[in-house]
A and B are shown apart, each in its own frame.
Chain A
Amino acid sequence: MTDDTAIREAIQGALGEHEVLLFMKGTPEAPACGFSARTVAALQALDAPFSAVDVLPDPRIRQQLSALSNWPTIPQLFFKGELVGGCDIVLEMYESGELAEALGVSTPDDAPDEAPVAAEPGAPPLQIDTSLVKQRD
Chain B
Amino acid sequence: MPSADQLKTRIEDALPGSRAEVADLKGTGDHFRAVVVSPAFTGLSRIEQHRLVYDVFGAEMGGAIHALSLSTRPA
Which residues does A use to contact B, with CB under 8 Å?
Answer: 35, 62, 70-73, 83-89, 92-93
Contacts and interface: CB of A to CB of B under 8 A. Distances in A.
A87 B68 CA distance: 11
B61 A73 contact: yes
Interface residues of B, number: 12
Interface in B4-24: none
Contacts, number: 32
B54 A85 contact: no
9 contacts: A62-B62, A83-B47, A85-B46, A87-B69, A88-B50, A88-B71, A92-B46, A92-B71, A93-B46
A126 B71 CA distance: 29
A93 B54 CA distance: 19
B40 interface: no
A85 B69 contact: no
Contact of B67 (A35, A62, A71, A84): A35
Given A73-B54, A88-B50, A88-B70, 12 more contacts: A35-B69, A71-B47, A71-B51, A71-B54, A72-B54, A72-B61, A73-B61, A73-B67, A85-B50, A87-B69, A88-B71, A92-B46
B62 A72 contact: yes
Pairs of residues from A and B, 4 with the lowest C-beta to C-beta distance, nearest first:
A72-B61, A89-B46, A88-B70, A72-B54
